[in-house]
Structure 1
Amino acid sequence: MSAPITAVLLCAASAAGYAAAAVLQERLAQRPIGVLVRMPLWWLAIALNGVGAGLHVVALRYGPLSLVQPFGVLTLVLAVPVAAALAGHAVARIERRGIVLTVAGLVGILLVAGTTNGIAVLSTAQLLSLLMAAAVVLTTLGAWGAVPGSSVLWPATAAGVSFGVSSALTQTVAVRVTGEGLGALLDSTVAVAALAIAALSTAGTLFAQRSYRGGLGAPLAVSTLANPVAAATIGMLLLGEQITGGGAGALIAVAGAGAAAVGVSLLTRAQIDLRIPAPVAPQLSEPCPS
């Protein structure tokens, strides 16, 4: 089996693991974390997330990032229909349109995401700056999401950012360990990055869990979008990556972002429609017997 085909199969399996985890987390989303940690089903969701992440990392050994990363959108494509089937209803037309636009927009962004001739790693100064910036952004998003009545898309965005920063750190750790062996983990920069990966992955999972209280489609779309956008932003700001295609590539990225935003809006409307009970037709009273 060729390397690209192996990468594609691993990506599909990774997306299936993430999708199954998201469906389970959404079904348990109304329970507080103190209850969730005592539920085997929630730990199964965590395990599925771990399997998805592991398969994604392995896929990068068989295919380039430009091939592997776009397959992340399969998580959204798989999760929403499965969640609808388990809830006993079909995927609404507006949901299908939202999924198509979100996936198309995200693929457009990923196709012009910056690349470099080699795989760059973060320096110590860049790592510390990134962690401080991530802490500020995630704290702000978390605070906005904690306000009563606020949108569930705030914690969904925080989840995507957490996973995106974690991906950038994972690249640095993987490159250092591959080139220097396990002894690289004794380096302070690599050790801090490894600890930060664990912390960010945990934070991302908890943010995602909170976001699913409002349904699955829109929060999953937002986190799926925010993840690669955050990673690409880090690549361009810190690792010397650039948008490919020049001005045309920039226009594609803007158009993709617009399409994805419309898709998320449609998915949000779909979730609001599902929460509004259908009107009950008035029943005519039977005539009183004479």
Structure 2
Amino acid sequence: MSVPIAAVLLCVASAAGYAGGAVLQERLAQRPIGVLLRMPLWWLAIALNCAGAALHVVALRFGPLSLVQPFGVLTLVMAVPVAAVIARRAVTRVEGRGIVLTVAGLIGILLVAGTTNGIAALSSAQLLGLLMAAAVVLTTLGGWGAVPGASGLWLAAAAGVSFGVSSALTQTVTVHLTGDGLSALLNPTVAVAGLAIAVLASAGTLFTQRSYRGGLGAPLAVSTLANPVAAATIGMVLLGERITGGGVGALIAVVSAGAAAVGVSLLTRAQARPRMPASSTAQHCPS
């Protein structure tokens, strides 16, 4: 397998942007949207997220969805040391093990991710079916998360699904623009996909912001895992993407995914542990 180096580098840079945005959003999570709109720090977080999204779009031109999307877990890997620096503390051993396992899992996925038909695009029928399914899933998850006292993890899952579906649509738009140029914008499939991307990205951002009200670690982990799961499902079912290497490749993929999941779990538990009072005070200002 020829590894698309450009896609990997773009994915890493994208994850760095998302990580910086996530750390800033978590620090401001207790404030209502009306207040956030007047805060430059929140707009900086949005700018970092937009930079991450732009790099992600370019990455989808160089690598299949099943390869690009798993690199989203690097957002959590990068957010941990950034949050530690802001809190003026060292990265713990648990966090270190979590980072190592997550990166090792990504390397395994990188070795076996592939596609049978190049970088594919959704057909019109597939696009409409996907949007209807996404609407049902997001309405359900968002409704569960909006129940008073409900866990923010439902909203985090909704955010991950929003961004995963958006990435599949972005790949479709990118393929059409690359092949047909700006004339592709007149294609109804591209137009609908572009509008859906804007809606899904906005919904994902709002879901994410609300999910961080209980802290960064667990919601970020859930959204980070839900994102590639949704995208990989779309890639396998609709876009003809496959695991290379046959049975051995499938085994490597399963083991790698397990290692990444354990790593994310360790990072989540570490983030959930209480810190020193001084650090807590610095990170969680009252609204």
TM-score range, shorter chain: 0.7 to 0.9
Alpha-carbon spacing, 1:267–1:68, altered in 2? closer, same or farther (3 Å): closer
Contact kept, 8 Å, 2:145 with 2:154, in 1: the verdict is: yes
Counterpart-to-counterpart distance in 2, 1:6 and 1:247: 28
Counterpart-to-counterpart distance in 1, 2:145 and 2:266: 20
Determine the structure 2 residue equivalent to 1:256.
Answer: 256
Compute the displacement of 1:83 (Å): 0.9
Determine the structure 2 residue equivalent to 1:15.
Answer: 15
Compute the displacement of 1:217 (Å): 2.9
Q: Secondary structure at the match of 1:181?
A: helix
Compute the displacement of 1:237 (Å): 0.8
Letter in 2 for 1:64: G
Counterpart-to-counterpart distance in 1, 2:35 and 2:124: 39
Determine the structure 2 residue equivalent to 1:184.
Answer: 184
5 Å matches for 1:56-75?
56-61=56-61, 63-65=62-64, 71-75=71-75
Residues 203-238 of structure 1 deviation map (CA, whole Å, 9 limit, x = unaligned): 111122122223223332332222222111101111
RCO higher in structure (CA 8 A, sep ≥6) = 2
5 Å matches for 1:96-135?
96-135=96-135
Compute the displacement of 1:254 (Å): 2.7
Number of residue pairs matched? 275
Residues 238-262 of structure 1 deviation map (CA, whole Å, 9 limit, x = unaligned): 1222222222233333333333333
Letter in 2 for 1:121: A
Percent identity between the aligned chains? 82
Alpha-carbon spacing, 1:88–1:213, altered in 2? closer, same or farther (3 Å): farther
Contact kept, 8 Å, 2:97 with 2:266, in 1: the verdict is: yes
5 Å matches for 1:224-263?
224-263=224-263
Counterpart-to-counterpart distance in 2, 1:161 and 1:174: 20
Alpha-carbon spacing, 1:97–1:142, altered in 2? closer, same or farther (3 Å): farther
Letter in 2 for 1:21: G
Compute the displacement of 1:137 (Å): 1.3
Determine the structure 2 residue equivalent to 1:95.
Answer: 95
Compute the displacement of 1:159 (Å): 1.6
Contact kept, 8 Å, 1:114 with 1:244, in 2: the verdict is: yes
- Normalization by structure 2: what TM-score? 0.83
Can you give the 5+ residue segments of structure 1 that lack an aligned partner in the other structure? Answer: 279-290
Q: Secondary structure at the match of 1:117?
A: coil
Determine the structure 2 residue equivalent to 1:214.
Answer: 214
Contact kept, 8 Å, 1:217 with 1:267, in 2: the verdict is: yes
Counterpart-to-counterpart distance in 1, 2:150 and 2:105: 26
Compute the displacement of 1:56 (Å): 2.7
Cα root mean square deviation, aligned: 2.8
Q: Secondary structure at the match of 1:90?
A: coil
Contact kept, 8 Å, 1:214 with 1:271, in 2: the verdict is: no
Q: Secondary structure at the match of 2:91?
A: coil
Contact kept, 8 Å, 1:185 with 1:191, in 2: the verdict is: yes
Alpha-carbon spacing, 1:261–1:8, altered in 2? closer, same or farther (3 Å): closer
Q: Secondary structure at the match of 2:184?
A: helix
Q: Is 2:171 aligned against 1:171?
A: yes
Q: Secondary structure at the match of 2:30?
A: coil
Counterpart-to-counterpart distance in 1, 2:139 and 2:37: 23
Q: Secondary structure at the match of 2:273?
A: helix
Counterpart-to-counterpart distance in 2, 1:109 and 1:126: 26
Counterpart-to-counterpart distance in 1, 2:210 and 2:101: 25
Compute the displacement of 1:5 (Å): 6.5
Residues 135-163 of structure 1 deviation map (CA, whole Å, 9 limit, x = unaligned): 11112222222334433332222222111
- Normalization by structure 1: what TM-score? 0.82
Compute the displacement of 1:14 (Å): 2.5
Q: Is 2:154 aligned against 1:154?
A: yes
**Which stretch has the larger CA shift, 233-242 or 63-72?**
63-72
Alpha-carbon spacing, 1:106–1:215, altered in 2? closer, same or farther (3 Å): farther
